[in-house]
Structure 1
Amino acid sequence: MRDLAQRCKRLLCGGLLLFSPLGEAKFAIAGYELVYDAPAETTLTASDLRSSAVVWQEMFASARTQIDIAQFYVANEPGSQLDKVIQTLRQAGERGVKIRFLMDQKGLKLSTPETLAQLKAIPGLTLRIMPFARLAGGIIHAKYLLVDGKQSFVGSQNFDWRALEHIQETGLLINDAPVVAQIAAIFNHDWAAQPLLEAGEKVPETGKGALPADLRAGRYLVASPRAWNPAGIPDSQLVLPQLLASARKRIRVQVMEYAPLSFGENRTRPFYAVIDNALRAAAARGVQVELMVANWNTKQPDIAWLKSLALVPGVTIKIVTIPEASSGFIPYARVVHSKIMTIDGELAWTGTSNWSGGYFDNSRNLELVLNDDVMAARLDALYEQLWQSRYAAPLRIDADYPAPDPGGLLRENAPRRDAP
């Protein structure tokens, strides 16, 4: 309790608890506002954190000349919070704002045709579908927005109505000019690469994998894949294990999916040891490691690897299960999807990657590293809320976990909806 009180004191003294024109509280540090979405009908609320639907609408409403959006896929539902967001985006287009929307080719299978048509009908919107697999073998998994080159949002939220209402998500509204410029450089790189890939031409490599001068100082962006990061943007796959190696007391991680495996050809799962080795090494030197994953992570062989990691002294793992909504089963929803980490109560990490192979090595993802104890304390409090909730249960080594069924394909008489 004393530790929690000290964290709350730091939040009140070091953070900025501001109020939007609508009277909503928003927690922020200089240049960064923490944004949070809680699944409806759960206790995972946070009155000092604004939702992504509110933040996205505010961003689009403020746009004067340019909006850039990169997403894996799109899925709207009439009358949803995302529907309101798209209406605000349309209003921006109608007043002359130019809109560039970049989406992954593999995301077409997950997108609803009605949403694609809705976006294409927005005045001034240009949609490009990028075959990112031709570039690096992965996908555009990053979820981010840019407005007028001055403001950005990066988070776990897909452009999906469920993300805004029935999934637990975390992101950052960014007004840090150098970081926003780097995010814009990534978007411009991929936007320019799309027609080259479509034409079968080669996209020159740009990244060198340089590290920040001091990993545990300042606030900075990291991204993947390394070879196609614009100059000066560090490689996520290089930075993350070194940050884990710098931990002295505690590492807290929440992701939807964790496994030291990659998705390979012919359904093979090549070994991907980068993160797993770093976590085991941290525990071996006495660092307390806490990991939360979604109940979608209980498939084989992933669950076997989680159990293996949980056997390491100093490692504690919990599985999070969000109950169905009172309205009934919603495919591909009711799950925790945030990708966050804190280290020693001093460093905050918020990004778009799950922690398995295929995300940090060959897919487009963005992560923010904030060496700020106030932001770390707020993320820790958010983490503890979920960790101590009735939704999080300790991983049982002896349990035979059922295969996850996020799409409801194994359910009898489950209501069917179009869903990715």
Structure 2
Amino acid sequence: MRPTLRFLALVLAVLGASQSRADFGIPGFELVHTVPVETALATPDLREPVQVWREMFDAAKKEIVVAQFYVAGEPGEVLEGVIDRLEAAAARGVKIRFLMEDKGQRLSVPATLERLKKIPGIDFRLLDYNKLSGNGIIHAKYFIVDGMQAFVGSQNFDWRALKHIHETGLRISEPVMVAKIQAIFEQDWQAQALLAAGKTVPVLPQPAEAFDITQKAFLLSSPRAWNPPGVGDSEEVLPRLLAEAKSEVRVQVMDYAPLSYAPGRRPFYAVIDNAVRSAVARGVKVKLMVSNWNTEEPPIDHLKSLAMLPGIEIRIVTLPQASTGFIPFARVIHTKTMVIDGELAWVGTSNWSGGYFDKSRNLEIVLRDKAMAARVAALHEQTWTSSYAAPIDVMKHYPKPAKAAP
């Protein structure tokens, strides 16, 4: 059987087996997905984050630690019920530590912030990650319960991420992985305390030898200077993973651009783009799927340039607006995943542009598992072949995307 047919057969086998179970996963890892309402997309074998988050918070006995970019609830929407579970946990005596990016206050809903801060016994702190890395943020979205299970994904602590945005994450119970995620939280928690006291946060010693990417499961994070032992550097490892690709790479991100963010300008950042172009030059087929938010200038010009290379396909996904009317910062694909050769799955929190892998706190889970790779690839294929995805048109002038207002 040819490799392509073998891969398709594996995808079908995984999906067929999943129909008889409530969720899809492999030992230690459950794939969790948000299907935007009022779309033709469907993933009945994947649980939604609302169900998983509530279950995890309800199971807490000692401590819940949370790290988020921002928080945004809406009366009558699903995030309110999630916060109910945090309040119930606190009432049971569970300790809650909540770390949020200082800049995230501008994006947060004040009422949600106040409700969280009023949870009895909660230790709610703000960390200005810019003071650590320079022009960086806490962009990771994760939490850990009792040091035994964790959730990492593209979902922000935002009601829209639980209903109106295409999102993907992982519920993790594998002990070594959970411990490493906890170590990242403790590092940033300590950094906040040091900065609040007017002290400097020392960088962590990094091993001289290259990170082992042959492991079956490993954690990557950024920025490298504050990664605890055993955690790989996202910026260094991503190009190495792309360099080992032999036949096909599938990528889904909200934004892709060889550009960084700086006051008043977009400096060139070639690390990821060079690795993608190198893979294409070796004959690897690349299927890159981005959101319609990626059509603003100058990122769209770089995407058009990339699309001119033989062997790469780029599709832009535009989700329909909700029947209730325009919702700011919603109705978009926000998933950050990659599949290499049908054998390796990447699920993370970073967009693929400068500032995410080099300046900001992000987490990426990498699994060398054919079943997980097949399921993530099938998730990619579902949107890729949907009516919402269209090949990039290098001759088209794309209008500025409406994010905050129509």
Aligned residues: 401
| 2:324 paired with 1:327 | yes
Secondary structure in structure 1 of the residue aligned to 2:150: strand
| Deviation, structure 1 residue 200 | 2.5
1:119 to 116, 121, 124: 116
2:45 to 38, 48, 60: 48
| Deviation, structure 1 residue 9 | 4.4
Secondary structure in structure 1 of the residue aligned to 2:232: coil
1:292 to 289, 292, 300: 289
CA distance in 1, matches of 2:272, 2:121: 42
TM-score in terms of structure 2 length: 0.96
What residue identity is the alignment partner of 1:354? N
Hey, what does 1:135 align to over in structure 2? 132
CA distance in 2, matches of 1:245, 1:17: 35
Secondary structure in structure 2 of the residue aligned to 1:153: strand
- Tell me the alpha carbon deviations over residues 65-93 of structure 1, each in whole angstroms, 9 at most, x when there is no partner: 00000000000011111111000111001
| 1:133-282 equivalences in 2 (<5 Å) | 133-137=130-134, 138-208=136-206, 211-213=210-212, 215-265=213-263, 267-282=264-279
Hey, what does 1:353 align to over in structure 2? 350
CA distance in 2, matches of 1:127, 1:111: 14
C-alpha contact (below 8 Å) 1:132/1:139 kept by paired residues = yes
Hey, what does 1:107 align to over in structure 2? 104
C-alpha contact (below 8 Å) 1:99/1:126 kept by paired residues = yes
2:77 to 80, 88, 111: 80
C-alpha contact (below 8 Å) 2:259/2:268 kept by paired residues = yes
CA distance in 2, matches of 1:32, 1:91: 26
C-alpha contact (below 8 Å) 1:224/1:237 kept by paired residues = yes
What residue identity is the alignment partner of 2:220? V
C-alpha contact (below 8 Å) 2:287/2:314 kept by paired residues = yes
| Deviation, structure 1 residue 217 | 3.7
1:392 and 1:216, CA in 2 relative to 1: closer, same or farther beyond 3 A?
farther
What residue identity is the alignment partner of 2:316? I
Runs of 4+ that moved beyond 6 A: 15-18
CA distance in 2, matches of 1:250, 1:5: 13
Secondary structure in structure 1 of the residue aligned to 2:383: helix
Secondary structure in structure 1 of the residue aligned to 2:93: coil
What residue identity is the alignment partner of 1:212? F
CA distance in 2, matches of 1:207, 1:141: 23
- Tell me the alpha carbon deviations over residues 350-396 of structure 1, each in whole angstroms, 9 at most, x when there is no partner: 00000000000010000000000100000011110000000000000
| Deviation, structure 1 residue 122 | 1.0
| Deviation, structure 1 residue 7 | 2.4
| Deviation, structure 1 residue 58 | 0.3
C-alpha contact (below 8 Å) 2:291/2:332 kept by paired residues = yes
CA distance in 2, matches of 1:229, 1:304: 34
| Deviation, structure 1 residue 216 | 3.9
C-alpha contact (below 8 Å) 1:17/1:28 kept by paired residues = no
| Deviation, structure 1 residue 211 | 3.7
What residue identity is the alignment partner of 1:348? A
Secondary structure in structure 2 of the residue aligned to 1:26: coil
| 2:359 paired with 1:362 | yes
2:373 to 370, 373, 376: 376
1:7 to 10, 24, 28: 10
| 1:333-348 equivalences in 2 (<5 Å) | 333-348=330-345
C-alpha contact (below 8 Å) 2:7/2:374 kept by paired residues = no
Hey, what does 1:313 align to over in structure 2? 310
- Once structures 1 and 2 are overlaid, which stretch shifts more, 191-200 or 165-174? 191-200
Secondary structure in structure 2 of the residue aligned to 1:134: helix
- Tell me the alpha carbon deviations over residues 25-56 of structure 1, each in whole angstroms, 9 at most, x when there is no partner: 10010100000001100011100000011100
| Deviation, structure 1 residue 232 | 2.1
What residue identity is the alignment partner of 1:164? L
- Percent same amino acid among aligned pairs? 57
What residue identity is the alignment partner of 1:366? L
CA distance in 1, matches of 2:282, 2:8: 28
CA distance in 2, matches of 1:150, 1:12: 28
What residue identity is the alignment partner of 2:124? L
CA distance in 2, matches of 1:221, 1:67: 20
TM-score in terms of structure 1 length: 0.93
What residue identity is the alignment partner of 1:220? F
- Tell me the alpha carbon deviations over residues 297-342 of structure 1, each in whole angstroms, 9 at most, x when there is no partner: 1010000000000001101000000010001110100000000000
1:398 and 1:234, CA in 2 relative to 1: closer, same or farther beyond 3 A?
same
1:230 and 1:16, CA in 2 relative to 1: closer, same or farther beyond 3 A?
farther
C-alpha contact (below 8 Å) 1:346/1:376 kept by paired residues = yes
What residue identity is the alignment partner of 2:211? P
